[in-house]
Amino acid sequence: MTRKLGRFPDGERGRLAAWFEHHPVGVNLSLEILEAVEDVSRLREQSAGTILQAAALTCSESKNRGPRALGRQVRDYLMSCVRQEGGMWGEKIDAASRSFQPFSPESLIVERSVVTSPMAVRVRTQFPKIPLEEIDDFRAWKVPGPMTEAKRILALVRHRGSFLKPFPKIRHAVNCGDYVFNPVSNCHLECTYCILQSYLKNNPVLTLAANIDDFLQAIEARVREEPERIFRIGTGELSDSLALDDLTSLSRELVPFFARLPNAFLELKTKSDRIGNLLELDSRGHTVVSWSLMPEVIAMREELKCASITERIDAAARIQAAGYPVGLHLDPMIHFDGWQEAYQGLMAQLSDKLDPRRIAWVSIGSLRFDRALKEVATQRFPKTKIFADDFIAAPDGKMRYFKKLRIEMYRQVWHGLRAWSDEFPHYLSMEPAWMWEEVTGAPAPEPLRLERTLTNRLGQLSNGQSRKM
């Protein structure tokens, strides 16, 4: 705290210290407030003391709820000012927006073999003025490079190699047996904790496969091999499933395709609100649209360029009304001062807006990362604080919150969901059996039983499902 105050001019330090003396909000919250005060002060070119006093005055209706409640309100208010007025977390974000930021590449690369494909033509016509380079083989471009710059280039390529694969199994965790295919690699949204920042470091250019038919043929061949089995197949491993959908209209090919496969379901996972194409399609209940969610106050700081939480939940309500099942992923849960009330608020938003009878499932998980991700994320987003908490190395090599804290966080959300409704299954994501037992008080399900629970739920939701508009 003293070190932080030292960053302010002499005349300001006393004013700020006096405010915190009268409002004992705790060390962590004080540091967060000072950080935000510094940002707003820089943006508005006003003194830090004036900024803090004005913010406290604006939030003074919570005066009677004690200093910590006031402190949290002041912090959230100041952070919303930063978000609205300018730069955030080291990345320059459109000042006018707290909403989804559409992708606008600065240059295009196209492999000659797909130049005339419908996907390449569709994308190119939307960006007639940006530089375009035609190349023979994109594999020669798969080299390490700065992530931020690479995400401004869009490569249209012929995907080679594996078209469908089982979702990588996590050792020591209860896995749930789904499949993935990756027509898009990398994502223009900027979540500070995004694993792709390290996972794709050797191949960071945003890449879109133009040979979509090859994916569809491979999927159809695989699901026909086992007609008795239900396949859950997602696209959210290497990108956000809908972030580019306005540009690619990929959902217009995928949703009707899955609608006619009797034993396969598609899951589209997103942090956007790009559902325009979906609303015009008949999924026959074979596409689940899933949103990853956390309380607004933390999403605002850590999920840049994404739709706000309110916008995501509104989009989920609209997609439910159009007949799609909705999945929810409360993952990663983030620990911060005031997390209990914030997650309670998120649950209230969900139960207020969504119909539990049309929810396919809810997963719950917490922040996890490896050393490589922390290094690149803290370089790209120097002001993120999520890696500054206390973590422990788990058997899978990832850093996670301490067991006691994870249990406390999961229990709150688990029981909150149960209190809301018992219509839909919910499960812990990437956690071992002992954690399930601690949280639920019951034995963890066998992986096959969890897989069956989820596929049965899809069967229930799609039974007799047709277009509702």
Contact 17, 52 (CB under 8 A): no
Q: Which is nearer to ligand SF4, 31 or 206 (CB)?
A: 206
Q: Which is nearer to ligand SF4, 150 or 194 (CB)?
A: 194
Longest dimension (CA), the chain: 74
Give residue 306's region: left, alpha or beta (phi > 0; psi -120 to 50).
beta
Please, what is the minimum distance in Å from the beta carbon of residue 315 to ligand SF4? 14
Query: CA 377, CA 362: separation in Å to the nearest integer?
Result: 27
Q: Taking the complex as a whole, how short is the minimal distance between the CB of residue 179 and ligand SF4, in angstroms?
A: 18
Q: Are 422 and 147 in contact (CB under 8 A)?
A: no
Question: What CA–CA distance (Å, rounded) separates 306 from 240?
Answer: 10
Under 8 Å between Cβ of 287 and 324: yes
Residue 36 or 184 with smaller CB distance to ligand SF4: 184
CA distance 327 to 311: 16
Residue 423 tokens read as 């219509």
**What minimum distance in Å lies between the beta carbon of 86 and ligand SF4?**
21
Question: What's the CA gap between 435 and 7, in Å, rounded?
Answer: 43
Decide whether 12 or 331 has the Cβ nearer to ligand SF4.
Answer: 331
CA nearest 236: which of 276, 287, 294, 282? 287
Considering the complex, state which of residue 196 and residue 212 has its C-beta at the smaller distance from ligand SF4.
196
Cβ proximity to ligand SF4, 240 vs 438, nearer residue: 240
Q: From the CB of 238, what's the least distance to ligand SF4, in Å?
A: 8
Q: Find out whether 168 and 222 touch, Cβ atoms under 8 Å.
A: no
Question: Among 174, 175, 171, which Cα is nearest to 433's?
Answer: 174
Q: How far apart are CA 297 and CA 316, in angstroms?
A: 19
Least Cβ distance, residue 304 to ligand SF4 (angstroms): 9
Closest approach of Cβ 195 to ligand SF4, in Å?
7
Q: Which residues pair with 156 in a beta bridge?
A: 110, 208
Using the minimum distance from each CB to ligand SF4, give the nearer residue, 23 or 305.
305
Minimum CB separation from ligand SF4 for residue 29, in Å? 26
Q: Where along the sequence are the contacts to ligand SF4 (CB under 6 A)?
A: 187, 189-191, 194, 196, 239-240, 271
- Nearest distance in Å: CB 292, ligand SF4: 7
Smaller CB separation from ligand SF4, 123 or 147: 147
Strand partners, 233: 179, 266
